[in-house]
Amino acid sequence: MSLRSTAILSAVGLLFAGSAQTPPGETITVDASRPGAALNPAMFGVFFEDINFGGDGGLYPERVRNRSFEFTEPLYGWSKVDQGGAEGELNIRTEGALNASNPHYLRIRVYSPGPGYGVTNGGFRGIGVESGAEFVFSAYVRTPGTGGPKSLKASLLGGGNNVIGEATLAGFSSQWRKYEATMRVSATTPRAQLRLMVTEPGEIDLDMVSLYPKDTFKGRQNGLRRDLVQLLADLKPGFLRFPGGCIVEGRRLALAYDWKNTVKDLAERRMIVNRWNDEFAHRPTPDYFQTFGLGFYEYFLLAEDIGASPLPVLNCGMACQFNSSETAPMDKLEPYIQDALDLVEFANGPASSKWGAVRARLGHPAPFGMKLLGIGNEQWGPRYIERYKRFAAALKAKYPEIQLVGSSGPSPAGQEFDYLWSNFRGELKGDIIDEHYYMAPQWFLANSARYDKYPRTGPKVFAGEYAAQTAGTARPTNRNNWEAAIAEAAFITGLERNGDVVTMASYAPLFGHLDAWQWTPNLIWFDNLKSYGTPNYYVQKMYSTNAGTNLLPLQINGSAANPQNGLYASATLDNRSGDVIVKAVNATASTRPVTIKANGASGASARVITLASGDLKAENSIEKPTNVAPVETAATAAAGAFHLQLAPYSMTVLRVRAR
């Protein structure tokens, strides 16, 4: 990957040294009678970016690719159909366009219709449909001449080109208007095609052609793919960071993410090329564009729907520093800062305010309650510091209640990292600093104590993007296997133990389309019909669904040293459920007999949730989505302690009632 040439570590073979010799009968002692620092109970969240077809072609379930004919090649994804000698012509035109943000449209001119003349669309690597599902087929249509075609027939073609769904639009005039009809599908296939046919001579203009499922999460219009959102909701995420990632920055400033463009009417959201379209020569994705059908309103709604706090990240006047590094001059920064101020009003302002009214018009009069805002994504250097300072001054003056998230750059250590941190600890007095680590599993195992030595005052840490890379940073051969996941599990005990410093954590990237990804590993994989969580997903879930509200003092074998010989642990009290929660990661090849004593806990039985695999190469898949997944059992206390056998390469969560 061109993004990060550093930190490429090899991860071949078995990870964990030692441990055939681990002592029998180790002890983890937790003092539940002495709750310590308060934790952010919403510490574990999700990081979303439209990479790997995670947005268009994924979470955003529009089935028609290039629906507005605005790809660089305007007919990309569309092909001509001229059945049985039909004659006609396809033209991309701009005269009398739908609107200025959507300047191209398709004109179908039919000379001799025969059995039908028109176009097909192949969707996002095929159109995935389930038997019985209903879709809304819609398009903006006009017939410019007199006596043009009176109807447009849409057919969904399944295997063998069998028609598995139909809908007809009719009654056109010489003015653009949106027409829609319901299409019910009679067969399941991941690779249908949508065919649009005209059976009368004349001219017909089309734009914003859409095939949209009725079955979205919570049944929302322009809503999101149900199974993918469900996987997010199951994590009970504390926050949702959006829209990225490098996508925020753009390769050039003209391609930076512009949130205001994304809260307009769908047909007026100006589309741009996705910055991941050609980032990787080894994974070119020429059909990857951002329609912004999934825009800021949809992100805020998603956050609300999954119970997560919204964390938008905005461009700070800097394009991606791995690409053009184009920077808005300081005297041209004002529009970027105004965008940030307006975003707070969009999210939190009353419906009577300018931007609150936009939110209300979109359907949400009540504020979204945004408390966090990211200034820039992966920025570094003095140019970033200067710009952050200006943003912070304006935002803190008007909205002191908003916590700002600053960047510590792309690497978890080094000169740039130190420079940024010293500025945030010093004059800038940062609130929360975002750290990224795309490192080898060994790094994760070796760095669980990373935050033990961080100062207890000053900015908090957001472990905003992390994922163990089994082959090297963003290498296409990285795997979402248990080797990576158990290393992350071990590392995260250290995030939790330092929960007074580390306030938020999220794995990255979130989604990968099995037929259209650019970057691996990813937390959740999907195809056009199905999806599954990786072992890494279940590690995140173990933490996010077992988070606590206060740290508890913990010792392994009578000492605060942690980890010990491949045994990592953390403990919290959850004063909402009244549970003491102990997490133990056995990162060795041996079974570890461990006694867990929670002084101050009264429960005679405990819930024990285990995530384990003896095979470090184990993965989940569409066929075996829960090959590595948590299993819950119960344990009974003997003389006030729980005696567990920690399986080789396992993560265990024990929950017992506090006194």
Name the residues annotated as catalytic: 378
Nearest residue (CB) to ligand AHR, 225 versus 436: 436
Confirm if 342 and 400 have CB atoms less than 8 A apart: no
At 134 the three-state DSSP class reads strand
- In the range 320-379, which residues lie near ligand AHR by CB under 6 A? 377-378
Nearest residue (CB) to ligand AHR, 135 versus 437: 437
Using rule CB under 6 A, residue 3 touches ligand AHR: yes
How many angstroms separate the CA atoms of 472 and 490, rounded? 19
Shortest reach from residue 466's CB to ligand AHR, in Å: 10
How many angstroms separate the CA atoms of 508 and 633, rounded? 30
Nearest residue (CB) to ligand AHR, 50 versus 287: 50
DSSP-assigned letters across all residues of 427-480: TT--SEEEEEE---HHHHHHTTTTTTTS-SSSPEEEEEEE---SSSTT-TT---
| Sequence-separated (6 or more) residues with CB below 8 Å from residue 520 | 474, 475, 476, 478, 479, 480, 512
In the complex, which residue's CB is closest to ligand AHR? 245
Query: Within 480-611, where are the H helices?
Result: 482-497, 535-544
Shortest reach from residue 516's CB to ligand AHR, in Å: 15
Interface residue with ligand AHR among 113, 123, 410, 603 (CB under 6 A) is: 410
Q: What is each CA distance from 82 to 90, 163, 187, 524, 552, in whole angstroms?
A: 11, 17, 25, 40, 71
Shortest reach from residue 380's CB to ligand AHR, in Å: 12
- In the range 221-250, which residues lie near ligand AHR by CB under 6 A? 244-246
- In the range 39-98, which residues lie near ligand AHR by CB under 6 A? 49, 51
Using rule CB under 6 A, residue 434 touches ligand AHR: no
Residues binding ligand AHR: what is the number (CB under 6 A)?
Answer: 13
Using rule CB under 6 A, residue 508 touches ligand AHR: yes
Nearest to 246 by CA among 409, 378, 52: 378
For the beta carbon of residue 393, count every other beta carbon within 10 angstroms. 11
- Nearest-10 Cα torsion for 39, 510, 256, 369: -40
Shortest reach from residue 468's CB to ligand AHR, in Å: 13
Nearest residue (CB) to ligand AHR, 205 versus 465: 465
Nearest residue (CB) to ligand AHR, 140 versus 466: 466
* HSE-up of residue 432 (Cα within 13 Å, Cβ side): 24
The strand pairing partners of 79, in sequence order, are 120
Using rule CB under 6 A, residue 118 touches ligand AHR: no
Interface residue with ligand AHR among 451, 519, 526, 538 (CB under 6 A) is: 519
Shortest reach from residue 15's CB to ligand AHR, in Å: 23
Using rule CB under 6 A, residue 465 touches ligand AHR: yes
Nearest residue (CB) to ligand AHR, 451 versus 519: 519
How many angstroms separate the CA atoms of 295 and 261, rounded? 8
Shortest reach from residue 109's CB to ligand AHR, in Å: 43
Interface residue with ligand AHR among 123, 158, 509, 521 (CB under 6 A) is: 509
Write out the residues near ligand AHR by the rule CB under 6 A.
Answer: 3, 49, 51, 244-246, 377-378, 410, 465, 508-509, 519
